[in-house]
Structure 1
């Protein structure tokens, strides 16, 4: 159970990092910083959608379009961003096609790196806590 909670936390942190990095470096991709609840909602919506969409899209793609399997992460990131932007209470906005394309790439890259680099830190801490 603890491992599941740690993985969920890592996924939420990676989603937050991806959205914040895109907001900081990409014009046209913005988080509404005056509404912290909206940003939190956007992060949770994005993380949940991403975790649900990626396996589902993988299954559909494997069955019908095997050549597109490599783009599942980008596609699920784009769809999750699209749905998060469409929810009025979420504190995220994306303006223009360039911001959509580059924003999807940035968020996907940062979340991929974070979900790859963060688990060893948490797992190492968990092992040290059990030993100590």
Structure 2
């Protein structure tokens, strides 16, 4: 149960990092920082959608179009961003230029994947250093 909670927190944190990097880098990708609850809602909606859509789309692709399996992560990121941007009050807007809709899923997917890989290593490293210092 503890590991599930840690993995969930890491996934939500990586989703937040991905959305923040996209906000900083992409012109038409905007997080409404004046309403912090909206941003938290956007993170939660995006993370939940991403965690549900990726396995579901992988199953659908495996049955119907196996050649698409490699792109499932980006496709599920695109769909999760689209739904999150459409929900009023979610604190996330994706607009012009048009290429933001292409670049945002790729950037968020890459940053989220890297954060999901690196964040556990940082936590484990801190825990190991703390144990060594106490021993």
The TM-score range, normalised by the shorter chain, is: over 0.9
CA distances 1:61-87 after superposition (whole Å, capped 9, x unpaired): 011000000000000000000110111
Residues 1-132 of structure 1: matches in 2 within 5 Å?
A: 1-96=1-96, 97-125=98-126
Deviation of residue 116 (structure 1)?
Answer: 1.1
Aligned length: 132
Mark the runs of 5 or more structure 2 residues left unpaired by the alignment.
Answer: none
Mark the runs of 5 or more structure 1 residues left unpaired by the alignment.
Answer: none
Deviation of residue 122 (structure 1)?
Answer: 2.5
Deviation of residue 124 (structure 1)?
Answer: 4.3
Structure 1 60/127 Cα, relative in aligned 2: closer, same or farther at 3 Å?
A: farther
Look up the SS of the partner of 2:93 in the other structure. Answer: strand
CA RMSD of aligned residues (A): 1.5
CA distances 1:37-66 after superposition (whole Å, capped 9, x unpaired): 000000000000000000100011011000
Question: Are the equivalent residues in 2 in contact too, given 1:6–1:122 (CA < 8 A)?
Answer: no
- TM-score (normalizing by structure 1): 0.93
Look up the SS of the partner of 1:72 in the other structure. Answer: helix
Look up the SS of the partner of 1:79 in the other structure. Answer: helix
- Structure 1: 4+ residue segments shifted above 4 A: 124-132
